[in-house]
Chain A
Amino acid sequence: MRIEGRGIIDRSTPVGFRFDGHDYVGFAGDTLASALLANGVRLVGRSFKYHRPRGILTAGSEEPNALVEVIEGNSHTPNVRATMQELYPGLAARSQNRFPSLDFDLLAVNDLAAPLLGAGFYYKTFMWPRRFWEGLYEPLIRRAAGLGSLDRQHDGGEYEQAFAFCDLLVIGAGPAGLMAALEAARGGADVILADESAQPGGRLLSETLTVDGRAGGEWAASVLAELQALPNVRIMARTTVTGAYDHGTYAALERVSLHLPPRPNLPRECFWRIVARRAILAAGALERPIAFENNDRPGIMLASAVRTYLNRYGVAPGKRVTVFCNNEDARRTARDLIAAGVTVAAIINSRAHASAVEDCPVYTGATVIDSRGRKGLRQITIRHGGGEAVIETDCLAVSGGWNPQVHLTCHMNGRPLWNQSLAAFVPQPDAVPGLAAAGAAAGIMSTAACLASGQRAAREALEALGRKAPGITLPVAEDAPYAIEPLWQVPHKFRAWLDFANDVTVKDVKLAAQENYSSVEHMKRYTTQGMAPDQGKNSNVAALAVLADSTGRGIAETGTTTFRPPFTPVSIAAMGAGGRGAGFAPQRFLTSHQASVERGAPMIEAGLWYRPSYFPRPGETTWQQSCDREVQMVRNHVGVADVSTLGKIDLQGKDAGRFLDFVYTNTFSTLPVGRVRYGLMLREDGLVLDDGTTARLGEHHYLMTTTTAAAGLVMRHLDFVHQAFCADWDLRFISVTESWSQFAVAGPKARALLASVLDDGPDLPFMGCGPVTVQGVQGRLFRISFSGEEGYELAVPARHGEALFRDLLARAETMGGGPYGMEALNVLRIEKGFITHAEIHGRTTAFDIGMEKMVSAKKDCIGKAASQRPGLNGPEREQLVGLKSLSDGALTAGAHLFVPGDKVERAQDQGYVTSVCHSATLGCSIGLAFLKDGRARHGQTIRVVDHLRGVDLLAEVCDPVFHDKEGVKLRA
């Protein structure tokens, strides 16, 4: 029901929206909750476990009941708090956790079975048979209990991440936050003021109080206007600070456009990381309910929420309202309602000596003991000094006092302190370095005291920042005392709810205590109290008060559970903004990419690189056909492959050779200028790190090549060795991987192809290198081979890479050659017995791969001593061998090796296969493998078993080099 003349909604802008298939009209400035209440909708959801009809309890982000699904086109977002969802034209929402409808929910039968379904019911009941838990019980329970349904499509919405920096972060823009921001801003500090609501102002917008003689909302607006005009202030509305982390870093979630119909490129939410030198927590306090019989009916709300709906949204949540409280503060609810012309049936104050001046019946020393009205409150029963009475009422405003929002102050392991006079926990000072609480968040309750507290906190922050306080005179405001007598629960017979979101009652907590789950953390796990999306904001303190009472301890002694980020739910989509699909990692493209794609090559990811898998020709229907052809092409004519992904490191300085001797197992200081040498690198633990070739370009100038996979790793390793062991050497190195496009040209006609592209063709010996000119471009030529054929690698500055690749292909094709992809490259190297990181995978030694003689005896190197440890060399090691399938069956990488006749079990394992291919050259399936004492077992037959892919066949153990063992072709 709307109340004329109240609220800050825009009554000139009606907004149509839809809830559960019915069309309604609200106003701009409404939340879904306020608009539903204005339209007389009280039943908005079903409870988690008992499927009890539920209404709106709060007016903020702590709402436990009014969770809805917001529908956007074909997708939807579950568990949206109706109290936070702002109205926009065309907003469509539906209730959740009900079937077939909100009004008639079949699973409400759970409510009848409630006596059976208390805390611990599942643990005690669904125990046997054991395997039924995963297959039957859990799915059933999950279906019955729950929140909204997940949309099974990808979230197509836009999300954003951003970073912000400031001198002072003020969290919350109520009286304390506004005052703090104003003080700090006028003092010249760089301020971010973050407020959860669409309109900053906090309780000033929800109450009828005055500041400096003006309405609170007006004062807030004037302060905001001043702050907005200042260049050193950033006001972030709709932004919830959700976590406090090390070094003054705070996480915050901004609801950028959830209040608007979707628009292209407009982020829904933005996940902020704010780095602040100081921070003030002015997040206020949350009112808490009181547990009494049937206290969960639609129409039973928090008193502060009733005032928010009345004063901010111009909505009376009922026609005949009753107030039930244990403190003085809540009485203003009755006063506001009466002033707005709403009937107040009674005030029921549990305090015996409460004053009673309101123009309505006031019962002191009284409590509510029951309520009626299944889908909407109809009446309550009260107990007072004179006995019991029934009051007809459609809205009960409850206040059990206030809990300061201590959450953020506990994110770095701090625990809040119990304050007896407030009957609440307050923040422990300095629990988060640099963060100070002010206002109601610090347990300071009157408006005047909040303003003063905000100013004080800002002054302390300014001092810490080395700035002067501007000297603002505090505005005048109410300073009424907050008198409270704790009342957690009213004695009852059946059920009184503590945690509405997870359907946890007083009885459940008592049962936990009775079953000796007496620690508050155990009670939480046993009852699930505090585990719902509201994270117990409405119930934690009352629940632990009940637990304290049941265990005979005090509340301070019982303590709270651990507060962890986030303060309110944060969508994973916002935290991972930008990381969907291609945004997951950078994509690295070769200069030849476009040319390869034009030839129809499927691109495969190799690390971050995209490399051509094979180059299909017309008539080829499988990759194997293309691959076989490419292998034959290289073996018989000439092939061209882009190998620019290999890491290239340029090393210079008088100590460059000495450094290479140190990081490689073999010697490079003796390498002549113009020559290339294969090198093996060990980790400190003596296992193989990487391999590659290094060329000596000049007296003090080397070029190292690493594998593609380990390019970054090797660079880091070199940096570590340089900085840690030989920082003073005359040595500098830098990656030039990206600077050069490098193409392998391999095959019997490689030399002829090169002669046609090079302006000057040096006649290089095997493992020679030298500068060349390629059509006027300065390049480098290396005679190295990864294919077993006569091979070269030709490098030009990357800007010429694409042109050279296209030119090489065109020329190669006139010679019966062409491009070859990763598949053929892999076959060529397996046939030749060359290793990759499939073999040097981090657990193999130089001995294992048959290169122990490369560990020079004449010098020390990284990993040398460790490589000689017992157990790293000898017949007990699995050693690199070749395998030839003895049947038509194909070997598989990852298969394990067994002696034929042995039992196929772990204890008999002889080794494993690392790389396999169909050898077009040999016409059978071959592979590389590690086999126990393998080098002594050439010629034996071994059983290859791969349970995952159903492979079980026999293979012949052989030398890992299948093709051109003597290297005649290489050196041709």
Chain B
Amino acid sequence: MPKLIAKSPLSDIWPVTHGALSLSELVLDRVVSVAPFPGQAGAMAKALKPLGLAFPEPNRMHINGEMRIVWTGRDQAFLFNAALDTPAAALTDQSAGWACLRLEGEGAAEALMRLYPIDLRAAAFPHGHAIRAPLNHMNSILMRLEDAFEIMVFRSMARTAWAEIEHAMLHLAARAQM
């Protein structure tokens, strides 16, 4: 019997580079939302400890190798690339529901500040910061890595997000050539 082929949200779009910036899709493997039940903070911490992670404070994320836990809302975080089984939290698979775009290069914050009404300069939004914020009209999760920004949007809106970020990249590249 044939297996159903899996497709990432932007699987038919090639990475692009404009000027100093490059945009690519980061294929999400395993993402689980973790929402600790009331009074379960201690149990939650205990469950995350073996992973080398702690439940993140608002607008922050914790990283341990490939594993990552990102604050995504009130009493809610997204856990990446890790298995967790605990009655302390509601766990919901989110792996297929999101597209992840990776923007890297000099001026990435400038490009995203065309779309996010947020101060994304390194001093204000350094590595380890993550925020639930609107990417133009879209709900998104924005994460600052050491060398890049990673942006998660709803799977269905991936193309719009891609187009809007690429548009900002094109503008910046054209400005750089002025």
Which residues of A are in contact with B by a Cβ distance under 8 Å?
158, 160-165, 256-257, 260, 263-267, 273, 275, 578, 582-583, 585-591, 608-609, 650, 652-653, 728-734, 736-740, 759, 774-777, 796-800, 802-804, 807
Contact = CB atoms under 8 A, between A and B. Distances in A.
A163 B113 contact: yes
7 contacts: A163-B117, A730-B37, A734-B33, A734-B94, A777-B4, A803-B6, A807-B4
B164 interface: yes
Contact of A730 (B38, B94, B138, B170): B38
Nearest to B1: A775
Nearest to B6: A799
Contact of B170 (A265, A731, A734, A797): A265
B6 A800 contact: yes
B5 A653 contact: no
Contact of B1 (A160, A273, A759): A759
Interface in B3-62: 3-8, 33, 35-38
Contacts, number: 146
Contacts of A260: 178
B174 to A, nearest CB: 4
Given A160-B114, A163-B113, A578-B136, A736 B92 contact: yes
B157 interface: yes
In the A-B complex, the 8 residue pairs with the smallest Cβ-Cβ separation, listed nearest first, are A739-B97, A738-B97, A732-B90, A652-B90, A588-B156, A732-B35, A165-B119, A266-B174
A586 B117 contact: no
Contact of B155 (A264, A653, A798): A798
Contacts of A609: 156
A591 B137 CA distance: 21
B175 A738 contact: no
Contacts of A582: 160, 163
A824 to B, nearest CB: 23
Contacts of B81: none
A266 B1 contact: no
Nearest to A165: B119
B137 A586 contact: yes
Contact of A802 (B7, B36, B117): B7
Nearest to A259: B178
Interface in B142-167: 154-157, 159-161, 163-164, 167
B106 interface: no
B173 interface: yes
Contacts of A165: 119, 121, 124
Contacts of A158: 171
A653 B37 contact: yes
A557 to B, nearest CB: 43
A418 B51 CA distance: 69
A266 B175 CA distance: 6
A586 B97 contact: no
Given A163-B117, A165-B119, A800 B37 contact: no
Contacts of A650: 90, 92
Interface hub of A740, A759, A800 (most chain B Cβ within 10 A): A800
Please tell me the size bucket of the interface on B. 35 or more
Given A164-B113, A275-B119, A653-B90, A738 B156 contact: yes
A587 B174 contact: no
B124 to A, nearest CB: 7
Contacts of A800: 4-7, 96
Interface hub of B3, B6, B173 (most chain A Cβ within 10 A): B6
B5 A265 contact: no
Contacts of B7: 591, 799-800, 802-803
A652 B75 CA distance: 14
Nearest to B124: A165
Nearest to B118: A163
Contacts of A164: 113
Interface in B68-104: 75-76, 89-90, 92-98
A583 B97 contact: no
A736 B3 contact: no
B65 interface: no
Contacts of B113: 162-164
Given A265-B173, A586-B160, A734-B35, A776 B4 contact: yes
A799 B116 CA distance: 28
B81 to A, nearest CB: 16
Nearest to A739: B97
Contacts of B3: 775-777
Contact of A798 (B97, B124, B137, B167): B97
Given A266-B171, A738-B97, A587 B159 contact: yes
A257 B178 CA distance: 8
Contacts of B98: 738
Contacts of A796: 4
Nearest to B154: A738
A266 B178 contact: yes
B55 to A, nearest CB: 14
Nearest to A256: B175
A590 B38 CA distance: 35
Interface hub of A164, A165, A609 (most chain B Cβ within 10 A): A165
Contacts of B118: 163
A73 to B, nearest CB: 18
A273 B117 contact: yes
A589 B158 CA distance: 9
Given A267-B171, A585-B137, A734 B6 contact: no
A161 B157 CA distance: 21
B5 A803 contact: yes
Contact of A161 (B4, B36, B95, B114): B114
Nearest to A650: B92
B76 to A, nearest CB: 7
A775 B2 contact: yes
Contacts of B117: 163, 273
B171 A160 contact: yes
B4 A732 contact: no
Nearest to A759: B1
A844 to B, nearest CB: 30
Contacts of B160: 582, 586-587
Contacts of A275: 119
A808 to B, nearest CB: 11
A78 to B, nearest CB: 25
Contacts of B4: 774-777, 796, 800, 803-804, 807
B97 A736 contact: yes
Contacts of B155: 591, 738, 798
B22 to A, nearest CB: 16
A728 B94 CA distance: 25
A7 to B, nearest CB: 24
B140 to A, nearest CB: 10
Given A267-B171, A800-B5, A736 B116 contact: no
B7 to A, nearest CB: 6
Contacts of B2: 775, 807
Contacts of B159: 587, 589
A163 B114 CA distance: 6
B175 A734 contact: no
Contacts of A777: 3-4
A246 to B, nearest CB: 14
Nearest to B35: A732
Contacts of A590: 156
Interface hub of A273, A650, A731 (most chain B Cβ within 10 A): A650
A963 B10 CA distance: 42
B102 to A, nearest CB: 18
Contacts of A586: 136-138, 157, 160-161
Contact of B96 (A589, A729, A731, A798): A798
B93 A739 contact: yes
Contacts of B119: 163, 165, 275
A265 B154 contact: no
A800 B168 CA distance: 31
A796 B175 CA distance: 45
Given A652-B92, A731-B37, 14 more contacts: A161-B114, A165-B121, A256-B175, A578-B164, A586-B161, A587-B159, A588-B157, A650-B90, A728-B38, A732-B37, A732-B89, A797-B93, A798-B97, A798-B155
